[in-house]
Amino acid sequence: KQLLIETKTKQYPLFLGEGIIHSLPKILRSLSFPAGTKLLIVTDQTLETLYVSQLQALLSDDYHVYTHVIPSGEGAKSFEQYYACQTAALEYGLDRHSLILAFGGGVVGDLAGFVAATYMRGIRYIQIPTTLLAHDSAVGGKVAINHPLGKNMIGAFHQPEAVVYDTAFLRSLPEKELRSGFAEVIKHALIRDRRFYEWLRQEIHTLCDLTGERLAHCIQKGIEIKASVVREDEKESGVRAHLNFGHTLGHALESELGYGTITHGDAVALGMLFAIFASERVYGRSFADHQFSAWLRTYGFPVSIPATVKLDRLLEKMKGDKKARAGMVRMVLLKDIGEVDIEALDDDTLSVLLREFAQ
């Protein structure tokens, strides 16, 4: 399957399918990368062990292929790894015609994309996602590393030349990573697409249902929704903020528990439950008939804030989120299934809501 991702400034193809990776040389030719181009594969240790030699073999007939490996996990979205990757690019002699291949999940995509955005004032790159979560992170052009004071605080908007998404890679994904990515699938359904949400409730009873056609459908729908939001608003001046549904609490939790302690998706799932709770209060309506908490629990998502977490600290982190403006925290709330809006909440309101939610 081929989809087209469009922004105001650029459009690029997304190739989706089982085994599509074998078409990579053809795709590179169609994108006019001549033989002899220098390619830098950026990947993490897990993927290096599993797949990198296969990827290198696929490309090395036509291209000069170099590989830079980062540690697996969120910790790699650091200034140190960013610097090491830039050093590798310089040592391999990459120039403005070279191409970076971001081969991995959201961590590799965000780091390698940010390296591409800034190496020699920006070179081209391609996203080759290997996680379910990356249906979200590989589309839209946001790339970033973390700062100890906050997640994704240093970054850029840099759209890739293409996304090549081979679902075969997802077979080796550990269950908790599949669940993590599934949280973003649910998010996409809830913010924009009631029919897709109903399909999820009917078709995906456990994570075991996330295979074959069903998995492909989740990826495609998630990408389409993400892409449509990005098409409207590439640089997050308006509706793109809707994608932050579940992320106000989610990011605060990740930061408070320590990156890597909880998966991004687990944090977002809990964040969505909090956002739904807040929506019920703010809009004076009830989503009780959807039994969101019980539903998310069937997949193994956490549904309550761990007792060890200090709510005061969580609140501070939520206020410090870069989406907060003028002393108010801007939260994405659910108006109806498939419809969200942004509401500015003052400190007191947020504090009361969080304490009640935590009980």
Interface with ligand NAD, residue 255, by CB under 6 A:
no
The answer to whether 142 is a known catalytic residue is: yes
Contact residue for ligand NAD among 24, 40, 47, 324 (CB under 6 A): 47
Which of 6, 18, 236, 280 is an active site residue? 236
CB of 130 to ligand NAD, least distance (A): 4
Compute the distance between CA of residue 132 and CA of residue 218 in angstroms, rounded to an integer: 9
Residue nearest ligand NAD by beta-carbon distance: 106
> Under 8 Å CB-to-CB from 181, ≥6 apart: which residues?
131, 132, 133, 134, 135, 136, 173, 265
Q: Give the x-and-dash track for 121-150 against ligand NAD (CB under 6 A).
A: ---------xx-xx-xx--x-x--------
3-state SS string over 26-64?
Answer: HHHHHCCCCCCCEEEEEEEHHHHHHHHHHHHHHHCCCCE
* 72 is an interface residue for ligand NAD by CB under 6 A: yes
Q: What is the dihedral of CA 39, 42, 48, 51, to 10 degrees?
A: -60
* Span near ligand NAD by CB under 6 A; candidates 72-80, 288-296, 318-326, 335-343: 72-80
Residue 77 is a catalytic residue:
no
| CA distance linking residue 23 with residue 211, whole number of Å | 22
Q: State which of residues 7, 105, 160, 204 lies at the interface with ligand NAD (CB under 6 A).
A: 105
Rule CB under 6 A: say whether 172 interacts with ligand NAD. yes
Residue count, binding to ligand NAD (CB under 6 A): 30
CB of 194 to ligand NAD, least distance (A): 23
Q: Does 321 bind ligand NAD (CB under 6 A)?
A: no
CB of 346 to ligand NAD, least distance (A): 27
Using the minimum distance from each CB to ligand NAD, give the nearer residue, 71 or 93: 71
Specify whether the CB–CB gap between 143 and 110 falls below 8 A: yes
Report phi then psi at 79, rounded to 5. -60, -40
Known catalytic residue: 244? yes
**Cβ contacts of 86-90, under 8 Å, gap ≥ 24:** 86/115, 86/118, 86/119, 88/40, 89/40, 89/115, 89/119
Please answer whether residues 358 and 311 qualify as being in contact, where contact means their C-beta atoms are separated by less than 8 angstroms: yes
Tokens of 173: 């994904």
Task: Count the helix, strand and coil residues of the chain and give each as a percent rounded to the nearest 5.
Answer: 55, 20, 25
The single residue of 38, 187, 221, 240 carrying the catalytic annotation is 240
Q: Which is nearer to ligand NAD, 246 or 324 (CB)?
A: 246
Q: Where along the sequence are the contacts to ligand NAD (CB under 6 A)?
A: 44, 46-47, 50, 72-74, 77, 104-108, 110, 130-131, 133-134, 136-137, 140, 142, 152, 169-170, 172-173, 177, 180, 264
